């Protein structure tokens, strides 16, 4: 049988990658056909068993249409609600499941909790029944220095509001800052241009009397280019938007390292240490190269204190530790932000991630065209984005390659073009397929209130 004739009569959809397709996922080959290889004879031989194996429900193909309304939403600033695909049977290959108990909802009970000096370690229910820090009195000293009076509660409160558990070095570092500046630990590093922010504000008692919506906490000190994986804990000058934060690959795991970013410049994330002591040490080393002699004395003073405390607590001050280097083996794509994408991936079946249908250079150029286009030209470039990459990314998600959607969402976020609804949909829907609800919620909250400024505190 003529191979080319058989190919044209094959009812399956043609694969976008053609002969260059590397996919071994059986589901991919069931849905898509590939051009015959001239070197292989009888590739499309009339084999009834093979035809039955490859046959799929054609009505499903016919009903799968390009989401043309998404372009209209981006132009008209109308939110889009994503519909998750049915992939329950294939999610078993992933081991990063999150239990339903991790999702906490706030109660509307208006009655604040009465705090006593003999308060025991709180439970999640104590948070649900009211705002622990809603009232403040002279007798109540918990608001002023939470870490010294109720460390366990501050941990539960941070997890409840920011959706992340902070690592040990976070709390140890705050104890050091309390010794350096007892009146205001957040300003302990002000001499070297850094200020403690984000979850540190809880430990410093700044949320005492604050009553915000749950989404507000998720954007507290979240900069314009920050992916949901990043939690800012230190800020620098407002001119550059410099900040440092913990970076996680999985919201339920400990941070893999800390990164720095210039939030008023671009979305590049640079790893600078496995723990906060190492990150600040790296920051100081970089600043000492260009600072004046007087400033260098200040940097040396803080650096010596950091080193002494880190040695005592056995924290590695290296800019790049063995653990950080080992992560490189798991990176599936470099991504625009340069930090690299790590998601659950089955190498044998190549399930979990596939390359974007467009090169980084082509994608960057297209996003720039959309960003700089005149209103009458924008729809043209948005249509190109839809047909050339968004549709194929949605297909990848349908076939459980969730990393592809996360990569595209990251890239659009890092580029800076205002495609908030598309970015939110890509990130939130794919994070939810991986059961990473914390990242999904942060994505939605950030894209709904994204600011390119340094006035990012909700307090």
What residues have CB less than 8 Å from 147, skipping those under 6 apart?
154, 171, 174, 175, 178, 203
pTM to 2 decimal places: 0.74
Is 399 one of the catalytic residues?
yes
Taking residue 292's Cβ as centre, other Cβ atoms within 10 Å add up to 7
Residue 13's beta-bridge partner residues? 32
- Of the candidates 70, 178, 274, 399, the residue annotated as catalytic is 399
pLDDT 10s per residue in the chain (459 long)? 555 557 777 878 787 677 767 666 666 777 778 887 766 555 544 444 443 443 343 333 333 433 444 554 554 453 434 434 333 333 333 333 333 433 333 333 333 333 333 334 444 444 443 343 333 333 344 454 444 456 788 999 999 999 999 999 999 999 999 999 999 999 999 999 999 999 999 999 998 888 889 999 999 999 999 999 999 999 999 999 999 999 999 999 999 999 999 999 999 999 999 999 999 999 999 999 999 999 999 999 999 999 999 999 999 999 999 999 999 999 999 999 999 999 999 999 999 999 999 999 999 999 999 999 999 999 999 999 999 999 999 999 999 999 999 999 999 999 999 999 999 999 999 999 999 999 999 999 999 999 999 999 999
Written as six digits, the tokens of 370 are 């959309």
Phi, psi of 273 (to 5 degrees): 160, 155
Residues across the chain: 459
Instruction: Report the distance separating Cα 127 and Cα 113, nearest Å.
Output: 9
């Amino acid at each position: 049988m003529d191979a080319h004739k058989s190919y044209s009569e094959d009812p399956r959809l043609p694969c976008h990658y053609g002969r260059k397709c590397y996919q071994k996922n059986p589901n991919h080959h069931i849905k898509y056909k590939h051009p015959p290889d001239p070197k292989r004879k009888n590739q499309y031989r009339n084999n009834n068993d093979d035809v039955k194996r490859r046959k799929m429900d054609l009505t499903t193909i016919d009903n799968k249409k390009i989401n043309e309304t998404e372009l209209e939403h981006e132009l008209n600033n109308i939110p889009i609600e994503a519909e998750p695909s049915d992939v329950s049977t294939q999610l078993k290959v992933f081991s990063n499941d999150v239990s339903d108990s991790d999702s906490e909802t706030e109660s509307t009970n208006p009655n604040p909790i009465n705090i006593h000096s003999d308060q025991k370690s709180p439970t999640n229910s104590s948070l649900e029944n009211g705002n622990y820090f809603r009232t403040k009195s002279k007798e109540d000293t918990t608001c002023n220095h939470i870490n010294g009076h109720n460390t366990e509660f501050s941990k539960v409160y941070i997890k409840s509001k920011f959706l992340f558990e902070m690592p040990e070095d976070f709390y140890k570092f705050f104890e050091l800052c309390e010794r350096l500046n007892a009146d205001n630990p957040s300003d302990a590093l002000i001499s070297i241009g850094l200020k403690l922010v984000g979850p540190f504000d809880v430990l410093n008692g700044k949320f005492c009397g604050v009553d915000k919506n749950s989404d507000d906490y998720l954007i507290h000190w979240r900069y314009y280019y920050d992916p949901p994986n990043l939690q800012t804990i230190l800020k620098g000058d407002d001119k550059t938007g410099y900040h440092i934060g913990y970076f996680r690959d999985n919201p339920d795991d400990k941070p893999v390292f800390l990164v720095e970013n210039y939030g008023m410049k671009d979305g590049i994330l640079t790893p600078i240490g496995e723990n906060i002591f190492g990150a600040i040490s790296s920051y100081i080393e970089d600043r000492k190269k260009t600072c004046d002699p007087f400033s260098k004395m200040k940097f040396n003073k803080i650096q010596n204190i950091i080193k002494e405390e880190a040695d005592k607590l056995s924290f590695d001050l290296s800019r790049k530790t063995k653990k950080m280097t080992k992560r490189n083996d798991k990176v599936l794509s470099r991504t625009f932000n340069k930090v690299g994408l790590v998601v659950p991936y089955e190498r044998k079946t190549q399930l979990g991630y596939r390359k974007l249908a467009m090169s980084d250079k082509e994608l960057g150029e297209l996003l720039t065209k959309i960003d700089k286009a005149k209103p009458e030209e924008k729809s043209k470039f948005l249509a190109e984005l839809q047909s050339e990459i968004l549709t194929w990314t949605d297909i990848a998600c349908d076939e459980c390659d969730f990393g592809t959607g996360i990569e595209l969402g990251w890239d659009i976020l890092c580029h800076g073009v205002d495609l908030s609804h598309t970015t939110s949909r890509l990130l939130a829907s794919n994070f939810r397929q991986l059961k990473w609800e914390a990242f999904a919620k942060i994505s939605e909250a950030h894209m709904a209130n994204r600011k390119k400024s340094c006035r990012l505190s909700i307090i």
